[in-house]
Amino acid sequence: MQPSRSNRPVVAILIGVLMLAALGITWLVWSSINSSIHNALNPLEQTNKTLNTQVANLLHPTPTIIPDPVTIITQVQALSRLETIQYNIEKVITAQENQGVLRVFLGDKLLFVAHGYVIAGIDMSKIEPKDLWLQDGVLNVRLPQAEVLVATLDNNKSYVYDRQTGILTKADPNLETSARKVAEVEIRQAAIDDGILDQAEANAQMTLRLFFESLGYKQIKFVPLEP
């Protein structure tokens, strides 16, 4: 028995509803299957990531530094230094070995970027009673010669920029050490060449002048060292 024409729209709506319901059920079943597959594979993915991390740690281990618990103090010395100026210096050092005709096979060369600082001033312990005297109301002061008190590298900023080794040789661990020693000497000399000692002396006189004036001396004269 076929539906009457008046019932045909209702039947079409019912068929459409049933088809949508069937599609919804199919989607829910497929989503459930995908979720189950993902949950089943998730532990495998986590295991794979963990394994990769462990392999990376084996290939690139973090260095462990263990200081000796025993500390030996070899010397204690009192200091009476007046630091009056500091230079921060950057210097590029080239260190190399076997750079002749066989450098492709036996050569070793590095570029070391050295960051360091130099501190200059005067050693107050060198001032003797005869270096301070009053004459006609004037305080005469004879200061010791300005000197470099500290010249060292900043290891946190210094680094090897480039290194090239020959095919048949290994990097010499002493080459960087030699470059660091030369860098300290060069940094010190660069500061001296730039006039750090003259500036240190001028700053020392200015600082001590303020100090003596605070003690009540109105006239201060700095006398140069005897030749």
Most confident of 78-87, 139-148, 171-180: 139-148
Whether 98 and 14 map to the same domain: the answer is: no
Give me the amino acid identity at 221: K
Using only C-alpha atoms, what is the Rg of the chain?
40
Any domain includes 57: no
Which of 85, 79, 76 lies closest to 124 in space, CA to CA? 79
The token pair at 17 is 């509803």
Domain that holds residue 151: 81-222
The span from the CA of 28 to the CA of 168, in Å, is 66
Whether 88 and 30 map to the same domain: the answer is: no
Whether 19 and 131 map to the same domain: the answer is: no
The token pair at 5 is 């024409």
Q: What is the pLDDT of residue 103?
A: 63
Whether 16 and 100 map to the same domain: the answer is: no
Any domain includes 70: no
Q: What is the pLDDT of residue 138?
A: 93
Structural domain count of the chain = 2
Any domain includes 197: yes
Model confidence pLDDT, tens digit, residues 47-84: 566 656 655 555 556 666 777 777 777 767 666 899 99
User: Which residues, at least 6 apart from 42, have a Cβ–Cβ distance to it below 8 Å?
Assistant: none
Whether 108 and 173 map to the same domain: the answer is: yes
Residue matched to tokens 């140069």: 224
